[in-house]
Amino acid sequence: MTFRSIIPVFLLIFSCFSLFSQIREKHLGNIRQLTYGGDNAEAYFSFDNKKLIFQSNNKKWGLSCDQIFIMDIEAAARDSQYMPTKVSTGKGRTTCSYFLKGDKKIVYASTHEHGESCPEVVSKPGKYTWNIYDYDIYIAGKKGKNIKMIAGGKGYQAEATVSPKGDKIVYTSDESGDLELWIMNTDGSEKRQITHDLGYDGGAFFSPDGKKLVFRASRPGSDVEAAEYKSLLKEGLVTPNNMEIFTINVDGTDMKQITRLGKANWAPFFSPDGQKIIFSSNHHSKRGYDFQLYMVNATDGSEMEQITFESMFNAFAMFSPDGKKLVFCSNRNNHGTRDTNVFIADWIK
Protein backbone atom coordinates (compact mmCIF):
# COMPACT_ATOMS: atom_id res chain seq x y z
CA MET A 1 0.00 0.00 0.00
CA THR A 2 1.43 3.38 -0.99
CA PHE A 3 1.55 6.46 1.26
CA ARG A 4 -1.05 8.15 -0.94
CA SER A 5 -3.45 5.22 -0.54
CA ILE A 6 -3.01 5.29 3.25
CA ILE A 7 -4.10 8.94 3.55
CA PRO A 8 -7.84 8.35 2.84
CA VAL A 9 -7.88 5.45 5.30
CA PHE A 10 -6.20 7.60 7.97
CA LEU A 11 -8.63 10.45 7.39
CA LEU A 12 -11.58 8.07 7.65
CA ILE A 13 -10.27 6.63 10.94
CA PHE A 14 -9.61 10.13 12.32
CA SER A 15 -13.08 11.29 11.24
CA CYS A 16 -14.73 8.31 12.94
CA PHE A 17 -12.70 8.86 16.14
CA SER A 18 -13.63 12.56 16.16
CA LEU A 19 -17.31 11.74 15.64
CA PHE A 20 -17.20 9.16 18.45
CA SER A 21 -15.60 11.74 20.76
CA GLN A 22 -18.33 14.24 19.96
CA ILE A 23 -21.07 11.67 20.61
CA ARG A 24 -19.58 11.05 24.06
CA GLU A 25 -19.77 14.79 24.80
CA LYS A 26 -23.43 14.30 25.69
CA HIS A 27 -23.71 17.47 27.79
CA LEU A 28 -22.55 19.72 24.94
CA GLY A 29 -25.00 20.53 22.17
CA ASN A 30 -24.70 22.85 19.19
CA ILE A 31 -20.95 23.49 19.70
CA ARG A 32 -19.89 26.65 17.87
CA GLN A 33 -16.40 28.05 17.35
CA LEU A 34 -16.00 31.76 18.16
CA THR A 35 -12.31 32.54 17.48
CA TYR A 36 -9.90 31.44 14.78
CA GLY A 37 -6.17 31.65 15.42
CA GLY A 38 -3.67 32.29 18.19
CA ASP A 39 -4.12 31.51 21.87
CA ASN A 40 -7.54 32.60 23.07
CA ALA A 41 -8.28 31.94 26.72
CA GLU A 42 -10.30 32.78 29.82
CA ALA A 43 -13.47 33.76 27.96
CA TYR A 44 -16.11 34.81 30.50
CA PHE A 45 -19.75 35.82 30.04
CA SER A 46 -21.32 39.21 30.52
CA PHE A 47 -24.12 39.25 33.07
CA ASP A 48 -26.70 39.54 30.24
CA ASN A 49 -25.38 36.33 28.58
CA LYS A 50 -24.75 38.10 25.25
CA LYS A 51 -21.02 38.89 25.27
CA LEU A 52 -17.68 37.35 26.23
CA ILE A 53 -14.56 39.08 27.50
CA PHE A 54 -11.33 37.18 26.85
CA GLN A 55 -7.59 37.43 26.21
CA SER A 56 -5.85 36.71 22.91
CA ASN A 57 -2.44 36.92 21.28
CA ASN A 58 -3.72 36.39 17.72
CA LYS A 59 -0.93 37.67 15.46
CA LYS A 60 -3.49 38.44 12.74
CA TRP A 61 -4.75 41.18 15.04
CA GLY A 62 -1.27 42.71 15.33
CA LEU A 63 -0.60 41.33 18.81
CA SER A 64 2.75 40.28 20.25
CA CYS A 65 1.31 39.15 23.60
CA ASP A 66 -2.09 38.85 25.28
CA GLN A 67 -4.57 41.72 25.16
CA ILE A 68 -8.20 41.87 26.31
CA PHE A 69 -11.15 41.78 23.89
CA ILE A 70 -14.94 41.78 24.05
CA MET A 71 -16.95 39.80 21.52
CA ASP A 72 -20.61 39.66 20.65
CA ILE A 73 -21.35 35.93 20.84
CA GLU A 74 -23.89 35.69 18.02
CA ALA A 75 -21.83 37.88 15.69
CA ALA A 76 -18.71 35.77 16.30
CA ALA A 77 -20.65 32.54 15.77
CA ARG A 78 -21.94 33.74 12.37
CA ASP A 79 -18.68 35.12 10.98
CA SER A 80 -15.25 33.49 11.19
CA GLN A 81 -13.73 36.86 10.18
CA TYR A 82 -15.45 38.71 13.02
CA MET A 83 -13.18 41.20 14.77
CA PRO A 84 -13.84 41.64 18.50
CA THR A 85 -13.26 44.97 20.25
CA LYS A 86 -9.94 45.46 22.03
CA VAL A 87 -10.57 47.01 25.45
CA SER A 88 -7.09 46.90 27.02
CA THR A 89 -4.41 49.52 26.40
CA GLY A 90 -2.43 47.48 23.85
CA LYS A 91 0.65 47.91 26.04
CA GLY A 92 2.35 45.32 28.21
CA ARG A 93 0.71 41.92 28.80
CA THR A 94 -2.82 41.45 30.10
CA THR A 95 -4.74 38.59 31.67
CA CYS A 96 -7.82 37.55 33.63
CA SER A 97 -10.65 39.84 32.56
CA TYR A 98 -14.25 39.92 33.76
CA PHE A 99 -17.43 41.99 33.48
CA LEU A 100 -18.76 43.92 36.43
CA LYS A 101 -22.45 43.74 37.29
CA GLY A 102 -24.45 45.75 34.74
CA ASP A 103 -21.88 45.07 32.00
CA LYS A 104 -20.90 48.74 31.80
CA LYS A 105 -17.47 48.21 33.35
CA ILE A 106 -14.75 45.57 33.14
CA VAL A 107 -11.86 44.41 35.30
CA TYR A 108 -8.56 42.95 34.11
CA ALA A 109 -4.87 42.72 35.00
CA SER A 110 -2.05 44.34 33.04
CA THR A 111 1.70 44.93 33.21
CA HIS A 112 1.60 48.14 31.14
CA GLU A 113 2.65 50.47 33.97
CA HIS A 114 5.79 48.38 34.46
CA GLY A 115 6.72 48.58 30.78
CA GLU A 116 4.94 49.14 27.49
CA SER A 117 6.47 46.12 25.73
CA CYS A 118 5.64 42.49 26.43
CA PRO A 119 7.49 41.31 29.54
CA GLU A 120 10.23 38.76 29.00
CA VAL A 121 9.19 35.13 29.26
CA VAL A 122 11.41 33.51 31.88
CA SER A 123 11.77 29.74 32.05
CA LYS A 124 13.63 27.14 34.07
CA PRO A 125 15.51 24.42 32.15
CA GLY A 126 13.85 21.05 32.56
CA LYS A 127 10.72 22.46 34.23
CA TYR A 128 7.32 23.60 33.01
CA THR A 129 6.69 26.95 34.69
CA TRP A 130 4.26 29.86 34.69
CA ASN A 131 5.58 33.41 34.91
CA ILE A 132 4.37 35.56 37.80
CA TYR A 133 4.62 39.01 36.24
CA ASP A 134 4.14 42.41 37.87
CA TYR A 135 0.44 42.63 37.10
CA ASP A 136 -1.85 45.33 38.46
CA ILE A 137 -5.66 45.11 38.45
CA TYR A 138 -7.69 47.78 36.65
CA ILE A 139 -11.30 48.81 36.27
CA ALA A 140 -12.34 50.40 32.97
CA GLY A 141 -15.44 51.25 30.97
CA LYS A 142 -16.76 48.59 28.60
CA LYS A 143 -14.87 50.28 25.74
CA GLY A 144 -11.63 50.35 27.72
CA LYS A 145 -11.81 54.05 28.64
CA ASN A 146 -11.55 55.67 32.07
CA ILE A 147 -9.07 53.08 33.30
CA LYS A 148 -8.33 53.06 37.04
CA MET A 149 -5.97 50.87 39.06
CA ILE A 150 -7.70 49.20 42.03
CA ALA A 151 -4.92 46.80 43.14
CA GLY A 152 -1.28 47.29 42.31
CA GLY A 153 2.26 48.06 43.27
CA LYS A 154 5.27 45.80 43.09
CA GLY A 155 4.38 42.15 42.65
CA TYR A 156 1.51 40.04 41.34
CA GLN A 157 -2.11 41.18 41.46
CA ALA A 158 -4.27 39.28 38.96
CA GLU A 159 -6.91 36.57 38.41
CA ALA A 160 -9.81 38.83 39.38
CA THR A 161 -13.42 37.61 39.13
CA VAL A 162 -16.64 39.24 40.31
CA SER A 163 -19.33 38.05 42.73
CA PRO A 164 -22.84 37.32 41.41
CA LYS A 165 -24.17 40.37 43.27
CA GLY A 166 -21.43 42.47 41.72
CA ASP A 167 -20.20 43.91 45.01
CA LYS A 168 -16.96 41.94 45.54
CA ILE A 169 -13.87 40.91 43.58
CA VAL A 170 -11.71 37.91 44.42
CA TYR A 171 -8.14 37.90 43.13
CA THR A 172 -4.69 36.41 43.68
CA SER A 173 -1.88 38.47 45.20
CA ASP A 174 1.63 37.89 46.51
CA GLU A 175 1.38 40.92 48.81
CA SER A 176 1.83 38.73 51.89
CA GLY A 177 4.84 36.92 50.40
CA ASP A 178 2.90 33.99 48.95
CA LEU A 179 0.27 33.63 46.20
CA GLU A 180 -2.94 33.86 48.22
CA LEU A 181 -6.61 34.66 47.58
CA TRP A 182 -7.82 38.12 48.52
CA ILE A 183 -11.24 39.79 48.38
CA MET A 184 -11.96 43.50 47.91
CA ASN A 185 -14.83 45.78 47.04
CA THR A 186 -15.17 46.64 43.35
CA ASP A 187 -13.62 50.07 43.98
CA GLY A 188 -10.50 48.44 45.48
CA SER A 189 -11.36 49.19 49.11
CA GLU A 190 -11.43 46.83 52.11
CA LYS A 191 -8.87 44.32 50.87
CA ARG A 192 -8.64 41.19 53.02
CA GLN A 193 -6.66 38.00 52.70
CA ILE A 194 -8.71 34.78 52.49
CA THR A 195 -6.15 31.93 52.25
CA HIS A 196 -2.95 31.51 54.26
CA ASP A 197 -1.40 28.11 53.50
CA LEU A 198 1.87 27.83 51.59
CA GLY A 199 1.30 27.24 47.88
CA TYR A 200 -0.23 28.86 44.83
CA ASP A 201 -3.92 29.72 45.40
CA GLY A 202 -5.55 31.10 42.27
CA GLY A 203 -8.21 31.00 39.59
CA ALA A 204 -11.02 31.58 42.09
CA PHE A 205 -14.72 31.97 41.26
CA PHE A 206 -17.73 32.66 43.46
CA SER A 207 -20.53 30.18 43.97
CA PRO A 208 -23.93 31.19 42.50
CA ASP A 209 -25.11 32.36 45.94
CA GLY A 210 -21.88 34.31 46.50
CA LYS A 211 -21.08 32.51 49.76
CA LYS A 212 -18.22 30.27 48.63
CA LEU A 213 -15.19 30.29 46.38
CA VAL A 214 -13.80 27.48 44.27
CA PHE A 215 -10.12 27.66 43.31
CA ARG A 216 -6.99 25.75 42.31
CA ALA A 217 -4.12 25.31 44.73
CA SER A 218 -0.69 23.75 44.96
CA ARG A 219 0.41 22.43 48.33
CA PRO A 220 4.09 21.51 48.74
CA GLY A 221 4.15 18.07 50.33
CA SER A 222 7.63 18.13 51.88
CA ASP A 223 10.30 20.52 53.11
CA VAL A 224 12.18 20.01 49.83
CA GLU A 225 9.09 20.89 47.76
CA ALA A 226 8.38 23.90 49.96
CA ALA A 227 11.94 25.18 49.54
CA GLU A 228 11.73 24.73 45.78
CA TYR A 229 8.37 26.52 45.63
CA LYS A 230 9.73 29.50 47.60
CA SER A 231 12.88 29.61 45.49
CA LEU A 232 10.97 29.64 42.21
CA LEU A 233 8.53 32.25 43.51
CA LYS A 234 11.43 34.61 44.24
CA GLU A 235 12.31 34.29 40.55
CA GLY A 236 8.72 35.04 39.52
CA LEU A 237 7.91 31.44 38.62
CA VAL A 238 5.59 28.64 39.71
CA THR A 239 5.33 25.05 38.54
CA PRO A 240 1.63 24.21 37.93
CA ASN A 241 2.20 20.47 37.64
CA ASN A 242 0.49 19.48 40.90
CA MET A 243 -2.71 21.35 41.70
CA GLU A 244 -6.00 20.30 43.22
CA ILE A 245 -9.44 21.90 43.50
CA PHE A 246 -10.47 23.50 46.81
CA THR A 247 -13.48 25.42 48.13
CA ILE A 248 -13.63 27.97 50.94
CA ASN A 249 -16.20 30.34 52.44
CA VAL A 250 -15.74 33.95 51.42
CA ASP A 251 -14.84 34.80 55.04
CA GLY A 252 -11.91 32.37 54.90
CA THR A 253 -13.49 29.56 56.92
CA ASP A 254 -14.21 25.93 56.06
CA MET A 255 -11.56 25.31 53.41
CA LYS A 256 -12.01 21.89 51.80
CA GLN A 257 -9.91 19.95 49.32
CA ILE A 258 -12.36 18.67 46.71
CA THR A 259 -10.10 16.65 44.39
CA ARG A 260 -7.23 14.29 45.15
CA LEU A 261 -6.42 13.24 41.61
CA GLY A 262 -2.78 14.16 41.22
CA LYS A 263 -1.18 16.12 38.37
CA ALA A 264 -2.84 19.40 37.31
CA ASN A 265 -6.47 20.08 38.22
CA TRP A 266 -7.40 23.69 37.58
CA ALA A 267 -9.79 26.28 36.05
CA PRO A 268 -12.78 25.27 38.23
CA PHE A 269 -16.27 26.78 38.06
CA PHE A 270 -19.51 26.06 39.93
CA SER A 271 -22.52 24.64 38.11
CA PRO A 272 -25.58 26.94 37.92
CA ASP A 273 -27.16 25.27 40.98
CA GLY A 274 -23.89 25.29 42.93
CA GLN A 275 -24.02 21.52 43.43
CA LYS A 276 -21.24 20.59 40.99
CA ILE A 277 -17.82 21.86 39.95
CA ILE A 278 -16.53 21.68 36.40
CA PHE A 279 -12.75 21.84 35.94
CA SER A 280 -9.87 20.90 33.64
CA SER A 281 -7.54 18.01 34.46
CA ASN A 282 -4.78 15.85 33.01
CA HIS A 283 -4.88 13.31 35.85
CA HIS A 284 -5.81 10.52 33.43
CA SER A 285 -2.97 11.23 31.00
CA LYS A 286 0.30 9.32 30.89
CA ARG A 287 1.92 12.03 28.75
CA GLY A 288 0.84 15.00 30.84
CA TYR A 289 -0.54 17.19 28.07
CA ASP A 290 -4.09 15.93 27.68
CA PHE A 291 -6.52 18.22 29.47
CA GLN A 292 -10.21 17.35 29.50
CA LEU A 293 -13.17 18.83 31.35
CA TYR A 294 -14.58 16.90 34.30
CA MET A 295 -17.42 17.50 36.72
CA VAL A 296 -17.66 16.43 40.39
CA ASN A 297 -19.90 17.02 43.38
CA ALA A 298 -19.01 20.32 45.01
CA THR A 299 -19.12 18.96 48.53
CA ASP A 300 -16.70 16.03 48.32
CA GLY A 301 -15.43 15.53 44.75
CA SER A 302 -17.46 12.36 44.27
CA GLU A 303 -19.32 11.14 41.16
CA MET A 304 -16.70 12.40 38.72
CA GLU A 305 -17.90 12.58 35.12
CA GLN A 306 -15.81 13.37 32.05
CA ILE A 307 -17.40 16.12 29.95
CA THR A 308 -15.05 16.53 26.94
CA PHE A 309 -13.25 13.92 24.87
CA GLU A 310 -12.25 15.85 21.73
CA SER A 311 -8.64 17.10 21.26
CA MET A 312 -5.81 17.36 23.79
CA PHE A 313 -6.74 20.61 25.54
CA ASN A 314 -10.04 21.78 27.02
CA ALA A 315 -10.13 24.31 29.87
CA PHE A 316 -11.55 27.61 31.18
CA ALA A 317 -15.14 26.36 31.30
CA MET A 318 -17.80 28.81 32.49
CA PHE A 319 -21.56 28.49 32.62
CA SER A 320 -23.60 31.43 31.38
CA PRO A 321 -25.46 33.33 34.10
CA ASP A 322 -28.76 31.86 32.88
CA GLY A 323 -27.25 28.34 32.99
CA LYS A 324 -28.10 27.54 29.38
CA LYS A 325 -24.62 27.74 27.82
CA LEU A 326 -21.08 26.59 28.51
CA VAL A 327 -18.11 28.48 27.11
CA PHE A 328 -14.70 26.82 27.07
CA CYS A 329 -11.34 27.01 25.31
CA SER A 330 -10.01 24.12 23.28
CA ASN A 331 -7.46 23.19 20.64
CA ARG A 332 -10.03 21.17 18.70
CA ASN A 333 -10.44 22.10 15.03
CA ASN A 334 -7.01 23.77 14.93
CA HIS A 335 -5.86 21.72 11.91
CA GLY A 336 -2.63 20.58 13.52
CA THR A 337 -1.52 24.02 14.73
CA ARG A 338 -1.04 25.04 18.35
CA ASP A 339 -4.01 27.41 18.26
CA THR A 340 -6.43 27.43 21.18
CA ASN A 341 -9.85 28.88 20.41
CA VAL A 342 -13.05 29.82 22.20
CA PHE A 343 -16.10 27.55 21.82
CA ILE A 344 -19.65 27.81 23.10
CA ALA A 345 -22.19 25.02 23.53
CA ASP A 346 -25.70 24.50 24.75
CA TRP A 347 -25.54 22.82 28.16
CA ILE A 348 -27.55 19.59 28.23
CA LYS A 349 -28.24 18.28 31.72
Confidence (pLDDT) at 287: 76
- Give the pLDDT band (50/70/90) at residue 12: very low
Residue range 165-170: mean pLDDT, rounded:
98
Confidence (pLDDT) at 286: 85
| CA–CA gap between residue 271 and residue 293 (Å, rounded) | 13
3-state secondary structure of 298: coil
End-to-end CA distance of the chain: 46
- Give the pLDDT band (50/70/90) at residue 17: very low
Sketch out the chain's domains with CATH numbers. Answer: 34-119+127-347 (2.120.10.30)
| CA–CA gap between residue 104 and residue 126 (Å, rounded) | 44
Phi, psi values for residue 311, rounded to 5°: 75, 180
Contact (CB, 8 A) for 198 and 226: yes
Confidence (pLDDT) at 167: 97
Question: 153: left (phi > 0), else alpha (psi -120 to 50), else beta?
Answer: left
Q: Edge-to-edge, what's the strand order for the sheet holding 51-56?
A: 40-45, 51-56, 67-72, 85-86
Residue 142 has pLDDT above 60, yes or no: yes
- Give the pLDDT band (50/70/90) at residue 16: very low
Confidence (pLDDT) at 14: 43
- Give the pLDDT band (50/70/90) at residue 19: low
Confidence (pLDDT) at 11: 42
Confidence (pLDDT) at 253: 98
Confidence (pLDDT) at 262: 95
- Identity of the residue numbered 35: T
Angle (CA) 224 132 311, round 5°? 90
If you average pLDDT over every residue of the chain, what do you get?
A: 94
Q: What is the pLDDT of residues 220-266, one digit of tens each?
A: 999 999 999 999 999 999 999 999 999 999 999 999 999 999 999 99
Residue 288 has pLDDT above 80, yes or no: no
Confidence (pLDDT) at 22: 62
| CA–CA gap between residue 253 and residue 85 (Å, rounded) | 40
Q: What is the pLDDT of residues 27-77, one digit of tens each?
A: 999 999 999 999 999 999 999 999 999 999 999 999 999 999 999 999 999
The neighbour count for residue 102, using CB atoms within 10 Å, is 11
